[in-house]
Amino acid sequence: MRIFKKRREDTCAVQSTSCEISKSPFLFATALGVGGASPHRFSPQLALSNGQLIFRASGMKDFRQMKQRGEKITALTAYDYPTARLLDESGIDIILVGDSVGMVVLGYLDTTDVTLDEMLHHTRAAARGVKQALLVADMPIHTYDTPVQAAETARKLVDAGAQAVKLEGGLSHVAQIAAITHAGIPFMAHIGMLPQHVREQGGYRIKGRTQMEVEALLEDARAVEDAGAFSVVLEIVLTDVAKQITNAIRIPTIGIGSGEHCDGQILVTHDLIGLFPWFTPKFVSPEARVAEEIRRAARAFIERTRGTAG
């Protein structure tokens, strides 16, 4: 009980900070970067991204209505123009420029080394290939430590071509989320296993194994909904717990390694198509073996070139 009391106290503190930002003209203007900052496509008057107005104004799908209709939401990652264009042409609902780019493209051990400049670069590339899907960009680690920084980072990603942003965290980040949504920028939440905290969490561990974890996840989900998220990613959460969370909130849950009861599913495209053969998560069943095809084509080219030499 002491832990939950502390979580509630922390929640009150960050929610209070969020309210102060929205009430104070100076703090709110600072959080939105008003005065000298480049404008983005979303209006501060849109308020919360899970409200109806922002969906109509930005032209994005109303994912809450999709949840109500029982229509599953589909999402995949892309970090470059051709992949984003192919996914968009395939009819995917959401394309995420994830900080997973650090592992499957840039060769980092995890996502903790990914920088904002790298995310801006890959967001610009992916944005050039997207016409229909919602393009969401991850906010890399330590680019949203404060509400003001979060709003600034979100605006930079929107300026690079993103239509929405995502950061990791629930109760602990409601002030940051509120700053983003009050700026009129659609926001996707991410709770459960948090890859940016993989080192302190001791690996990629399933969440929701204890009643304490279940209660914390439910609190996180309700908090991000109240802060204005239009959806929430549930990463590596026990299936029954993911179902419980899905039934407890009005915004859609988008699962990755969290079972079939979520309102949608997201995967790293490299995992789906077998482009990163050195590691495949246990919950992924690749639909293709692109790495094998690349090796086969490269060997064929080598043999053909050497066979005609001289």
237 with 255: CB under 8 angstroms? yes
194 with 141: CB under 8 angstroms? no
Find where tokens 């002030």 sit: 175
- Tell me the catalytic residues: 235
φ, ψ for residue 94 (rounded to 5)?
-130, 135
Distance, C-alpha 157 to centroid of its chain: 12
Q: What is the DSSP string of 224-255?
A: HHHHT-SEEEEESB-HHHHHHHHHH-SSPEEE
| Cα separation values, 301 from 151, 277, 304, Å | 49, 21, 5
241 with 210: CB under 8 angstroms? no
Alpha-carbon span 184 to 58, nearest angstrom: 9
Q: What is the DSSP string of 36-53?
A: TSPP-SS-GGG--TTSHH
| Cα separation values, 9 from 5, 13, 150, 169, 191, Å | 6, 6, 22, 16, 19
